[in-house]
Structure 1
Amino acid sequence: MELTVNLDKNSYPIYIEPGILSHAEQYVSHIFHGKKIMVISDDNVFPLYGEKLIHALPSYQCSSLVLPHGETTKSFQTLPQIYAAMLEHQITRSDLVIALGGGVIGDLAGFAASSYLRGIKLVQIPTSLLAQVDSSVGGKVAVDLPQGKNLVGAFYHPKLVLIDPEVLNTLPQRYITDGMGEVIKYGCIKDADLFETLSAHCSFDDLKDQLASIIYRCVDIKRIVVEQDQFDTGERMLLNFGHTLAHTIEQHFQYERESHGEAVAIGMYQITKIAEEAGLTMAGVADKIRQVLKVYGLPTECNLPMSVLTDAVKLDKKNLDNHLNVVLLHQIGDSYVYPTNLDFFEKAGNI
């Protein structure tokens, strides 16, 4: 399956195919004619797929950098280590970086590629469900600061995205659950049929035969949205459904308790509950979200007072001069941006 993100000079192809990792050079050679490739990965993914990828790129001089896994690696302090490795291997502007990993590696390696020598070519090979359906597409790259998530970043599109659903077979169950938070998001904001498909199954295992097509549908939704709004000023904001609360939950627990997808699940359900109570979302929508989250083992609450989270919400990138854009649903598959401020959360108790 092939998609193209049409962004004029920033356009790039996305290929979704079981086993594509073993044929990486066939695709990389279309967009890269240099000699050196640096593969950036983590200590969970590289032992499984790093050598396999390098062996699939026999025409290139490949080097690698393996970083610790986890959100705490996606910090400003990691960047000098990446730049030093690039310099050590004499990576130039005519060379290529491949991000092989989940969302953390994709964001981090992408930001390093965007800033090293003012930008070198980037290929994304996402290995987690969350990265395959969401973060590897769209060109957002970033690192975290202690004050909040993704506060230093750029829009920097890859030249190519290769998605191999087979790599998901080695993922621990929690990382599958994590990715399903973002899959459900796409059904909520843009595709009621996708939401119904997810709701009709009783577990992730029951869904596996349809996984490649579900990944394709999620990526296609993101492609359409990104083409309409490359720089996140309008339509693309809809992709942040649940994220305003999610990022604050992740940060509160220093990225050590809820994963991103788990936090998004909580954020989607809780913000929809608030919106229902305010008459901004049809009655019953929050319960539909709660039920589908339960099917895939995702949480709906984190047992924190909303007041604990509002300081972090103030630093959210979508909070401009105390004007906050939150993403709400009219109903499943029909989302909109609602301009408000922090008072929107005032009546919420524990979430």
Structure 2
Amino acid sequence: MIGTTLLDIADHIESLAADDGEFSLVCARYGDRPVPAAGLRFESRETARAAARATEQYRDTLRRYDPELPFYDVVVRQEFAEPPSESTGRDDDGPTFAPGDGGSPPAELADRIVDGTVHRGPGGDDAPTDRRRADQAGGRGRARDRVEFCHAAAAATFEALSAGGHDRAESAVMNAYFSLAERVADPDDLCLCLLEAMATALDRHLDPGAQASVLADAAERLPEPSEPAAADPVDAAFDRLAAVGLVEGYERVDEAESAAGYGAPTADATVRVSGYALSPADGRVATLPAALELCRRDSRGRTAGIALLGAAGSDATGSDWWVRVDPDAPALDGGPSTASVPSAD
């Protein structure tokens, strides 16, 4: 299955990384850090080049199953850990990406990796389809972030399924995705369908404990969150989902709302989510992306259970929900991958 190949490539890339390296990989056009090299640093330009070639191989392998995976022009960038001698005008303590004593950045900071190869999307346009559509709509950044978030989550979960030997679930994901790819043309919709199909496969083929184990493994395979460890993983997780457009907004329940019947002051949390991008199917809603983000940000690495308490508002499409999150109950409502839609009674 695909996971074995992806695991081999990802392990190779990680073996090239060094904690104190000055070089990293980015997309020359958009500045994105490509999965699976996101967050990794390399001690030399030659090593970074090798990692970039492997990153292209990884993404090409995944693209065999998902033709709409974004194309990146992967380049090496040198990241100076200390500020150069001339002031850059920054007043924070973060790393400074700037040239040394020479004025303008040298060309080597954007050194191309793919040897003269120009990737072309359907129709011969250099720009990938999803980016072109988003540019035309004036929302390139958020649309791009959502597509990349979905693909990163899917890739990590594929790898976890393969590593766990869950062949039936992995095959079910592939079969459902191939069927969807023939009918869903828009890449933004297709990436959401991929997450929905993956969540449904986990729900149907794995018990709650196995689901929690797969998602915990997948969360480990994702890059570390760029922000510091959160005191409240619920807020941090839903902030991330909102930033990439998986939800339009959310709010935590206050004491008055809890007293009205939406939870009580316990270790779990109740959240009102608006504009959730994943749709109900067969009486359940995919909660896999929320479970992954919660696990990434939980200091103990727990996979939280997620349940829907009821619809929030009058949205007939089922995109506004009252959600219960319990970090100590991964088996809540059948497992963390999906949640059942409450009856209207």
Normalising by structure 1, what TM-score? Answer: 0.30
Which of structures 1 and 2 has the bigger CA Rg?
Answer: 2
TM normalised by structure 2 equals 0.30
